A and B are shown apart, each in its own frame.
Chain A
Amino acid sequence: MGVLVKEAIDVPPKGGFNFDLCRRNEMLLKKGVQAPSFRKTGTTIVGLVFQDGVILGADTRATEGPIVCDKNCEKIHYMAPNIYCCGAGTAADTEAVTDMVSSQLQLHRYATGRESRVVTALTLLKSHLFSYQGYVSAALVLGGVDVTGPHLHTIYPHGSTDTLPFATMGSGSLAAMAIFESKYREGLSREEGIRLVCEAICSGIFNDLGSGSNVDVCVITKGHKDYLRNHMLPNPRTYVSSKGYSFAKGQTEVLSTKIMPLREKVELGRDV
C-alpha cells in the first residue's frame, strides 16, 4: 500500500512546461557547461493599414548572438490565403507557433466552409502564448483582410495583443516606429504604403545591428495577396577579390593518412 501512495504523489503536473530539469541546468551552469544558444531573429517587422487592406514588411537577417546565421531568411509566415504573420524573437518559436495556428485555421475552414478571420488567428495565437507564460518567445505582427475588413494586430510573447493602424516589433522596432510616427497617415495608396513600409524596414536594417540584408513585403487586399519576397536588396556585397582563391591539392598539410577498407575488394582473374 505504501508503494501505491508513493506513485500517486509522483504523477507529473498536466499541461504547460515541466520545470524538473531546471535544477539540473543550474548545476551544469555552475560546473561551467555552456547552454546551447538558440537562433533569434534580431529583426525589424512592421505592418500598416492602407486604403485597400494591410501591408506587412520584414527584414531578412537571422542572428545567433553576434553572428549572422542566415542572411536571407523568411520572416513573413503564411497563416491563411488572406492572412499573413511576421515573427520576431526565437526563430523556432515563431515558425512553430505560426505553422500550428495555420493548420488549425485550415481545419476550421473545412469545418465552417468560410474564409478565415483575422480575429480567429489572433485568439488562437494569444491563448497558446499565454498558456506558455512567455516561455514561447514569439513577438508577432498579424495582418489580413476578411469579410469584416482589414485588420492589423501585434501579439507579445506573454499573450497580450493590440489592434493598431500601424505597428512595429523586434529589436529594430524603435527605428521603424520613428519612421511610421513621422510619415504615417490614414488612407495611403498602395504605392505610398509599400514605400513607407520599405523606408521603415530600411531604417531598422541600417540603424539596428540585429536587423539587416533585404526587405520582404506582403500586400493583402480583399480577395488578393502579393508576397513580394526580396522586394528591396539594399545590401550587395561591397568587394569581391579579382584574384580569386585556389584550394589546390597539397595546400593543406596532410599530417597522417589511414586507409580503412569498408568492403573487401576482390581481384578477379582475367580468365573469361
Chain B
Amino acid sequence: MASKQHANWSPYDNNGGTCVAIAGSDYCVIAADTRMSTGYSILTREYSKICKLADKSVMASSGFQADVKALQKNLAARHLIYQHQHNKQMSCPAMAQLLSNTLYYKRFFPYYAFNVLGGLDSEGKGCVFTYDAVGSYERVGYSAQGSGSTLIMPVLDNQLKSPSPLLLPAKDAVTPLSEMEAVDLVKDVFASATERDIYTGDRVEIVIVNAGGIRREYTDLRKD
C-alpha cells in the first residue's frame, strides 16, 4: 500500500538563534544572539533579531527570519494606526495581546516565529510575555526561546525562580536581581548556550528598557 506523497518543498526554513528576556522591578532585559544560519552554513554573523515595537515594548524573535520580518512590519503598521486613533503609544500588555491575535490570525499557515516580548507595564514594572508559534501567551518573570532555549531555561529557573502567575494570592513575577546582575546573568547564560548549541554564537545583542529609555549593549561570543 503506497503511502501519501509528501511535498519535497517546504515554505519554512529555520534560521536558528536564541532569545532571552528577564523582567526586573523597574527594568526589562531582552537579549538575542546575532547569528543567522541555514542548515550547517552561516548566512551572517551580524543580524538583529530584536525589534522595538513601541516606546516601552521590545520584541525578540527566533525561527524563520522572513516570517519574523513580516510579523514585525505587520505589528509596526498596526501600532502606527493605534497611535493615530488614540493619540498615544501602545502599552506593553496591549502590544502583547496584539501580537497574540496577529499570530492566531494565521493559525492555519503560521508565522514560524518564536517570540518573547519585553518592556515596562503601565506601572513602570518590568514585564515579559512568552509566545508559541500560534499566539498562546503568558506573562512571566523570564523566558528563553529558540534553539538554545532548552539549554538556558533550566539555568534561569534555578537562578531566578519566579513564581507562576497562576498562583494565588498573586505573587510578584519580577526578579529581585539588580539590572547589572541580570545583564551579567544573560551574558553568562548565552556564553554557556554557545558552547553546546551550534546555532547560537557570534555576538549577543542586549537591550535594556527602563524609565530612562532604551539602551543597547553587545558582547562577543564564540564564532565556531
Interface residues of A (CB under 8 A from B): 42, 61, 63, 66-68, 71, 171, 205-213, 234-235, 237-243, 245, 251
Contacts and interface: CB of A to CB of B under 8 A. Distances in A.
Nearest to A172: B40
B188 interface: yes
B11 to A, nearest CB: 21
From A205, A207, A211, A238, residue with most partner B Cβ within 10 Å: A238
B210 interface: no
Given A61-B224, A63-B198, A240-B191, A209 B185 contact: no
Contacts of A245: 159
Interface in B9-36: none
A206 B221 CA distance: 12
Contact of A42 (B40, B185, B196, B223): B40
B197 A66 contact: yes
A251 B147 CA distance: 28
Interface string B177-208: 00001001101101100111111000000000
Interface of B: 37, 40-42, 147, 158-159, 181, 184-185, 187-188, 190-191, 194-199, 219-224
B195 A237 contact: yes
B224 A212 contact: yes
Contacts of A67: 196-198
B34 to A, nearest CB: 13
A238 B191 contact: yes
Contacts of B224: 61, 205-206, 211-213, 234-235
A238 B194 contact: yes
A67 to B, nearest CB: 6
Given A213-B224, A238-B222, A68 B197 contact: yes
Contact of A241 (B40, B147, B185, B194): B185
Nearest to B187: A239
B191 A239 contact: yes
Contact of B220 (A206, A212, A238): A238
Contacts of A211: 224
A42 B198 contact: yes
A243 B181 contact: yes
A238 B198 contact: no
Given A211-B224, A235-B224, A241 B42 contact: no
Closest 3 CB pairs of A and B: A212-B224, A241-B188, A239-B191
B219 A66 contact: no
Contact of A66 (B41, B194, B195, B198): B198
Contacts of A242: 184
B40 A71 contact: no
B199 A66 contact: yes
Nearest to B147: A66
Contacts of A251: 158
B57 to A, nearest CB: 28
From B184, B199, B222, B224, residue with most partner A Cβ within 10 Å: B224
